[in-house]
C-alpha cells in the first residue's frame, strides 16, 4: 500500500531497472522552508591535512608494483641520474597525466596531495624546473632503454592475452611546437602550414590500442622516413617475445607504399595492406576509367581486383581498386578527369595486399585503420602527447616516451581488471571494451578521501558510494588474483 511521504518502488519500462523516489508530503511546505539566507562570503582556509582528490591512484599504484615498474625504471633511467632518481620522477609524471594535468607547471597544484607523493615514492614534490632539468639530461643514447622498457611492457600484456594475431597500424602524427624548439621544422601540416612541428612515427596495436613503439622525427621529413628500420626493429622485437608463428599484419597509408617497405614485409613473411597513391607513373587512373564492371562491396562502394606490374621496382602486386559514390565533388577536383559529370562523383583509392582477403573483407579491414585516430586523439587530449615542455630535443623526446608509457600502463591496467571481450570484427579493431582515460578518471581516480592512521597502519577513507565501492572491490579482486 502506498503512503504519501514514504519511499515507493515502481517498475520502469525496462525489466532490470527499478525506479526509487520519495513522494511529495501530504502537507504543502511553506516557501520560507525552501530558502536559505547567505549573509556573507564563506571563508576559505588551506591547512595541512592528509586529504587527497585522487583516491584511485592507490589502485594504479598497486598495479604499477605488480609490474615491478619502479625496479625496471631504475634500470632504464640509470644513465640519466638525478637526486630524485629517474624511476620516481617518471612515476611522478605518470601521476601528473593520470590526474588530468598537462604541463610541468601543474606540479605546483599537486604538492600537498599525499597519494600523488605515495604513487611516486616521494616525500616532497620537486619543482617544474627540477623536472625540466632532469628531462634535458636525456639523449638519443640514454633514451633507448626507456623505449625498450615501453615495448617490453606492451609485449608482456600481449603475451598474457595470447592474441591469435597481431595487427599493427603504422602512421605519423603532427605535434606543433614553438618557433625556437630544437629540431622543429615546417612540414606537413595542412591546418597550420607555417607552424613548426615534430612528426613522430607510431606503431598502434589494433587489438588492444597500445602504442608498441614511437620514434620522434623533425617535422619536415616524409611520412615514410626511417620506416624500413622502424619496421625491422618492430618485427624482430615482436617475434623474439611472442614467437615466429604469430601472424603479423600491417596496415599503412600511401606514404608507405615504397619498394623497400614492400620487400621487407615480404621477406619477413608479414601480411600487409598498404594504400597505393594515384601517382602519374602508375596506371591506376587508366584502369579505373576503362573499367566497365564493378563488383558491389558495400553500400555506395564498388571495386575490382587487378594484378599490378611495377617495372621500375620489379614487383607484381595484387591491388584492389575501390570507388565510393559521394554527394559532393572530390577535394580540389583531382579526379574529375576520370568520368563525365553525368556518371556522378566518386572517391577512389587502391590497396596493395598479399593477404588472402576478398574485396569486401579487405575494404572492412582497411576501414579498421580509423580506430588509431581515436587513440591519437586520446594521447594528445588526455596524455599530453601534443605538449612540448622544453626547447631541448632530447627532453621533448623523453616527454613523448613518458606520455606513451603512462598511456600503455593505463591500457594494461584496464585489460587486467575491467576490460571485457568484444565480438570479433572484420575490421580488426579493439578486441576488448576499453574506457577512455576521461571516463576512467571520473569513475576511479578522481575520488576525494582522507589518509588516516588506524591501528598503526595508514588507511584511505573515501565517501560512501555503492557504485564506487562495487567498482573498487572489483578492481582490488582482479589485482589480488
CA angle 282, 287, 292 (to 5 degrees): 170
Q: Provide φ and ψ at 461, rounded to 5°.
A: -105, 125
For strand 166-172 and strand 248-252, is the pairing parallel, antiparallel, or unpaired?
parallel
Q: What is the pTM of this model?
A: 0.87
> Comparing C-alpha atoms, which of 264, 364, 381, 377 is closest to residue 320?
364
Q: Provide φ and ψ at 177, rounded to 5°.
A: -130, 180
* Alpha helices per DSSP H over 283-422: 284-290, 359-367, 371-382, 393-417
| Ranges of each domain in the chain | 51-137+448-480, 140-417
Q: How far apart are CA 90 and CA 94, in angstroms?
A: 6
CB-CB contact of 215 with 203 (8 Å) = no
Q: How far apart are CA 274 and CA 263, in angstroms?
A: 13
CATH of 140-417, one of 3.90.350.10, 3.40.30.10, 1.10.10.60, 1.20.1050.10: 3.90.350.10
CA distances (Å), origin 142, targets 81, 212, 339, 395: 11, 19, 56, 11
Angular region, 211: left φ>0, alpha ψ -120 to 50, beta rest: beta
Q: How far apart are CA 203 and CA 170, in angstroms?
A: 5
Three-state secondary structure readout of 156-206: HHHHHHCCCCEEEEEEECCEECCCCCCCCEECCCCCCCCCEEECCEEEEEC
pLDDT in tens, the chain (481 residues): 444 444 444 444 554 545 554 555 566 778 778 888 888 888 887 767 789 999 999 999 999 999 999 999 999 999 998 889 999 999 999 999 999 999 999 999 999 899 999 999 999 999 999 999 999 999 999 999 999 999 999 999 999 999 999 999 999 999 999 899 999 998 877 777 788 999 999 999 999 999 999 999 999 998 899 999 999 999 999 999 999 999 999 999 999 999 999 999 999 999 999 999 888 899 998 999 899 999 999 999 999 999 999 999 999 999 999 999 887 665 554 444 444 433 457 888 899 999 999 999 999 999 999 999 999 999 999 999 999 999 999 999 999 999 999 999 999 999 999 999 999 889 999 999 999 999 999 999 999 999 988 888 889 999 999 999 999 999 999 999 8
CB-CB contact of 355 with 362 (8 Å) = yes
Amino acid at each position: 500500500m502506498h503512503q504519501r511521504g514514504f519511499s515507493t518502488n515502481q517498475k520502469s519500462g525496462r525489466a532490470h531497472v527499478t525506479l526509487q523516489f520519495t513522494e511529495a508530503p501530504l502537507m504543502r511546505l511553506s516557501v520560507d522552508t525552501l530558502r536559505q539566507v547567505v549573509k556573507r562570503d564563506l571563508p576559505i582556509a588551506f591547512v595541512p591535512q592528509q586529504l587527497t582528490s585522487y583516491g584511485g591512484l592507490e589502485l594504479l599504484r598497486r598495479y604499477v608494483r605488480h609490474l615491478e615498474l619502479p625496479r625496471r625504471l631504475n634500470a632504464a633511467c640509470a644513465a640519466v641520474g638525478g637526486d630524485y632518481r629517474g624511476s620516481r620522477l617518471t612515476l611522478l609524471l605518470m601521476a601528473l597525466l593520470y590526474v588530468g594535468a598537462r604541463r610541468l607547471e601543474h606540479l605546483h597544484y599537486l604538492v600537498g596531495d599525499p597519494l600523488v607523493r605515495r604513487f611516486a615514492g616521494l616525500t616532497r614534490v620537486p619543482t617544474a624546473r627540477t623536472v625540466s632539468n632532469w628531462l634535458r639530461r636525456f639523449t638519443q643514447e640514454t633514451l633507448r632503454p626507456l623505449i625498450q622498457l615501453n615495448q617490453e611492457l606492451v609485449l608482456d600484456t600481449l603475451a598474457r592475452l595470447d592474441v591469435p594475431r597481431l595487427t599493427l597500424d603504422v602512421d605519423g602524427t603532427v605535434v606543433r611546437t614553438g618557433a625556437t624548439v630544437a629540431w622543429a621544422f615546417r612540414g606537413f601540416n595542412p591546418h597550420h602550414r607555417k607552424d613548426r612541428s615534430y612528426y613522430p612515427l607510431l606503431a598502434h596495436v589494433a587489438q588492444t590500442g597500445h602504442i608498441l613503439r614511437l620514434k620522434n622525427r623533425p617535422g619536415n621529413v616524409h611520412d615514410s622516413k626511417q620506416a624500413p628500420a622502424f619496421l625491422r626493429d618492430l618485427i624482430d622485437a615482436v617475434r623474439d617475445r611472442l614467437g615466429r608463428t604469430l601472424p603479423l599484419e600491417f596496415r599503412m597509408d600511401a606514404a608507405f607504399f615504397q619498394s623497400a617497405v614492400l620487400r621487407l614485409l615480404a621477406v619477413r613473411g608479414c601480411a600487409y595492406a598498404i594504400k597505393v597513391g594515384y601517382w602519374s607513373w602508375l596506371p591506376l587512373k587508366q584502369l579505373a576509367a576503362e573499367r566497365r564492371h564493378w563488383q558491389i562491396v558495400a553500400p555506395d562502394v564498388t571495386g575490382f581486383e587487378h594484378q599490378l606490374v611495377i617495372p621500375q621496382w620489379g614487383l607484381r602486386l595484387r591491388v584492389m581498386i575501390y570507388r565510393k559514390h559521394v554527394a559532393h565533388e572530390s577535394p580540389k577536383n583531382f579526379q574529375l578527369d576520370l568520368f563525365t559529370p553525368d556518371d556522378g562523383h566518386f572517391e577512389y583509392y587502391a590497396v596493395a595486399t598479399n593477404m588472402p582477403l576478398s574485396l569486401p573483407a579487405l575494404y572492412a579491414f582497411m576501414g579498421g585503420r580509423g580506430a588509431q585516430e581515436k587513440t591519437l586523439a586520446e594521447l594528445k587530449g588526455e596524455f599530453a602527447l601534443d605538449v612540448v615542455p622544453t626547447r631541448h630535443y632530447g627532453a621533448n623526446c623523453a616527454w613523448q616516451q613518458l606520455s606513451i608509457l603512462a598511456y600503455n600502463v593505463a591500457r594494461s591496467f584496464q585489460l587486467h581488471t575491467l576490460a571485457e571481450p568484444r565480438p570479433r570484427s572484420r575490421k580488426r579493431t579493439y578486441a576488448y571494451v576499453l574506457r577512455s582515460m576521461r571516463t576512467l578518471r571520473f569513475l576511479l581516480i578522481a575520488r576525494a578521501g582522507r589518509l588516516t592512521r588506524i591501528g598503526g597502519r595508514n588507511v584511505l577513507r573515501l565517501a560512501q558510494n555503492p557504485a564506487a565501492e562495487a567498482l573498487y572491490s572489483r578492481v582490488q579482486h582482479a589485482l589480488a588474483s
